Amino acid sequence: MSTLVETISREIVSGHIDESIEAVKDALQGEIPPQEILDDGLLPAMERVGSLFQEGEIFIPDVFFSAKAMHESMNILRPLLAPSQSMGMGRVIIGTILGDIHDIGKRLVGTMLEGAGFTVIDLGVEVSPDAFVQGVKAHQPHILAMSSLLTTTMMNMGVTIEALLKAGVRDQVKVLIGGAPVTRDFAEEIGADGYGSDASAGVEEAKALIATLKGETGKGE
């Protein structure tokens, strides 16, 4: 592997955003194929970040910076990659549910999803069931992700899923939910497709949902 690609990997793992961008530009100038930069630089870097986090060597803010570095690097590479690669993992619309303005977890998940190669469309906070329905229609996402911190508002997740059903778009999208009071039982009870107990578990669940989506439809991007 070229040292230029190794540098990209190292800078992403270190969470150095500007340096990662520079390293990607250097590699492109050194005529390293974009696909190789992605396969040997970016993707192994994020895997390394994941395992360092699992081992307790690095912390949430470190992962956040690495994910940002990864996302910025992808923005440079995306136009240069073959169309089948450029779409990345899939599209996600994300928001906190009606009545809940607590969005720190949502932002963290959003950034980590971007770091994992997803395209994330952030609908903001206190997203009404209707706004989620409109979001599905407008953005055609693979995944709708919603979160709730408050025990008093989490039932609005079920209301949102009912609204998707009524609008006839429920089967167009996988629903992923999270937030401190949310449990897998609750996810099943309201008919969500997936649940993440924390940000990194949410990203893993999103990947698994994409895998089932590809299995179900044979499509994929």
For other proteins, the closer of residues 39 and 189 by Cβ is 189
Site for other proteins contains 99 (CB under 8 A): yes
Give the x/- contact pattern for other proteins in 100-139, rule: CB under 8 A. -xx-xx--x-------------------------------
Give the x/- contact pattern for other proteins in 183-202, rule: CB under 8 A. ---------------xx---
Q: How far is CA 28 from CA 59, 80, 115, 184, 189, in A?
A: 31, 10, 20, 44, 49
For other proteins, the closer of residues 77 and 199 by Cβ is 199
Task: State the nearest-atom distance from the C-beta of 180 to other proteins, in Å.
Answer: 7
Task: State the nearest-atom distance from the C-beta of 40 to other proteins, in Å.
Answer: 29
Enumerate residues 41-80 that contact other proteins by CB under 8 A. Answer: 53, 56, 59-61
For other proteins, the closer of residues 2 and 197 by Cβ is 197
The residues binding other proteins (CB under 8 A) are: 53, 56, 59-61, 99, 101-102, 104-105, 108, 151-152, 155, 180-181, 198-199
